[in-house]
Chain A
Amino acid sequence: MKDLIEIRWHGRGGQGTKTASLLLADAAFNTGKYIQGFPEYGPERMGAPITAYNRISNNPIRVHSNIYEPDFVVVVDDTLLDCVPITAGLKTDGAIIVNTTLEDEILKEKLKDYFGSIYKIDARKISEEALGKYFPNTPMLAAIVKVSQIMSDETFLNDMIDSFRHKFAKKPEVIDGNMKAIKMSLSEIHKVQ
């Protein structure tokens, strides 16, 4: 892992994007990293575009600004590709990860101004299969961990089971589904060639 990894999340209000950024901060924290996880609060309403950020480093993090040149961008809702400057400042040696069912060629066309790597995942399918409902944040969390290589799959899985046991102490029935969603995502995330 590079000394500092900066991640920008794009989603819509209600999809759990902020929660995903906080879960990623948690997971990285548990492996000994210094972390920041923060949303950019705007007019909060269901369906409105929202942004959240992560900084992950081996050293204390001092900067307290939003992230303008991220290493990775995670797009939780592909309708944002047409209305938000998704790839603004995104480093070409980084990557963008999109939750989408769009054909590769169409996705590449939408991201034609970006010259770095493009990854895609069908978080809806995974979530509905594993959880019976559409919660894209858990699959997207697994996707960014896999692509950014912040930690190994094994470390991540061990960490998440602990974290879900804590988070869902009052509804343990959802733990297995979330773990299944993570495992499916780790194997299904793939690079668009």
Chain B
Amino acid sequence: MSIRERLSGNEAAAIAMKQINPDVVAAFPITPSTEIPQYFSSFVNNGVVDTEFVAVESEHSAMSACIGAEAAGSRAMTATSANGLSYMWEVLYIASSLRLPIVMNLVNRAVSGPINIHNDHSDAMGVRDSGWIQIFSETNQEVYDNLIMAHQIAENKKVLLPLMVCQDGFITSHSIENIELLEDDVVKKFVGTYKPEHYLLNDKEPISIGPLDLQGYLFEHKMQQSEAMFNSKQVILEVADKFEKITGRKYGFFEEYRLNDAELVVVCMNSTAGTAKATADKLREQGIKAGVLKVRVFRPFPAEEIAKALSNSKAIAILDKADSLNAAGGALFEDTVSSLYTSNIHIPAISYVYGIGGRDVKIDDIEKVYKDLNEIVNNNGNINYPYRHLGVRGI
């Protein structure tokens, strides 16, 4: 029996963590993710979880404590945003290269400067090559569901990679919405007990973790990380299947919304996907074949699958909530068009950087994107200029 509730995205994350009941949570507060460790620490204080809560003095220490805990053989979780994640940067690579399946809540916020507390994806994009699995969430429900699935993916022997569940700061983290929760024992059974194969506190098998790794072996170890990221694709789908069996909610690498016969397609992530779906519905009523591809799993990037899903469209707009400042389009755009190229599919595709620093994204904005795509189709696929910005003044 599922439980009908109404929770904010941060509450949903904290409740998921309560039900997961990890061995260690180490965190340092930063807006807009602060509420997650705040709520969780009250669960610790009230004795409803038996987690060791480490109130560290910085995010660098938060991740370091998670690394220590996970290496010791326990299950560790954390939460952060923006500059907090930036401050973890060097240790994120340590976590992934030591193959420690730590699970993080990333409540997406613009990385300073100038200082801004609102949502964009510049924090997540800044660590996209750090060897972490990155899963994005449109709604509070998806935040919850992705967290419940996270450990089963990350701790799988074929994977052993850290994983971050992303959600949009304020837009979902501070918005109350309907949600269906699972009962505690159902989550407990699904998440299971963590049984690491090798760990520091195993007196039967003394090991070193993180020694010097020079020309002779580092490449091989990086190759293993690369293979693990490829392997994680299958595991992500297997865990989603298991999750569907207990919830009826189906998850894949991405969601195809009215994509079957879509001619004009918007590709995006997180909360914007909801607004894009509402826009597609509106345009469908006017006879325009609009569709949405919502990327859920960004790392590993499901390149072949996305290319295939987009292969019947006539024009594609890829929306990035972070500007790569590279004079060549956003990260999601680059990954998507390279996927198409590698699959030998050539469809006009344009990049939109949008929603920076919490700039609100309205149905009107997405409608403008579809209108631009329609123009490209009517103009024999002539793109004119691919590197566009949406909703910014002065262009």
Contacts and interface: CB of A to CB of B under 8 A. Distances in A.
The answer to whether A binds B is yes
Interface of A: 22, 25-26, 29, 34-39, 41, 60-66, 68
Nearest to A18: B174
Nearest to A61: B177
Contacts of B177: 34-36, 61
A64 B176 contact: no
Contacts of A41: 117-118, 170, 174
A37 B7 CA distance: 10
A16 to B, nearest CB: 15
A32 to B, nearest CB: 9
Interface string B343-366: 000000000000000001111000
Taking each of A36, A65, A68, which has the highest tally of chain B beta carbons within 10 Å of its own beta carbon? A65
Which of B178, B360, B362: most chain A CB closer than 10 A? B178
Contacts of B117: 41
B220 to A, nearest CB: 44
B80 interface: no
B172 interface: yes
Contacts of A36: 175-177
Nearest to B5: A29
A175 B274 CA distance: 38
Contacts, number: 55
Contacts of B6: 25-26, 29, 35
Interchain residue pairs A-B with the least CB separation, the first 6: A38-B175, A62-B274, A64-B271, A37-B176, A29-B6, A65-B362
Nearest to A39: B174
26 contacts: A22-B176, A25-B6, A25-B176, A26-B176, A29-B6, A34-B178, A35-B177, A35-B178, A36-B177, A37-B175, A38-B170, A38-B171, A39-B174, A41-B170, A60-B178, A61-B177, A62-B275, A63-B274, A63-B278, A63-B363, A64-B171, A64-B175, A64-B272, A65-B361, A66-B362, A68-B362
Q: Report which residue of A38, A39, A62 has the largest number of chain B beta carbons within 10 angstroms of its beta carbon.
A: A62
Interface string B164-184: 000010111011111000000
Nearest to A25: B176
A65 B178 contact: no
Interface string B251-281: 0000000000000000000011011011000
Given A63-B274, A64-B271, A65-B275, A35 B176 contact: yes
B178 A63 contact: no
Nearest to A41: B170
Contacts of B172: 64
A29 B178 CA distance: 8
Contacts of B363: 63, 65
Contacts of A35: 6, 176-178
Contacts of A62: 274-275, 277-278
A38 B278 contact: no
Given A35-B178, A60-B178, 18 more contacts: A22-B176, A25-B6, A29-B6, A29-B178, A34-B177, A36-B177, A37-B176, A38-B175, A38-B176, A61-B177, A63-B278, A63-B363, A64-B171, A64-B175, A64-B271, A64-B361, A65-B275, A66-B360
Given A29-B6, A41-B118, A64 B178 contact: no
A187 to B, nearest CB: 29
Contacts of B277: 62
Contacts of A61: 177
Nearest to B174: A38
A192 B176 CA distance: 33
A193 B271 CA distance: 42
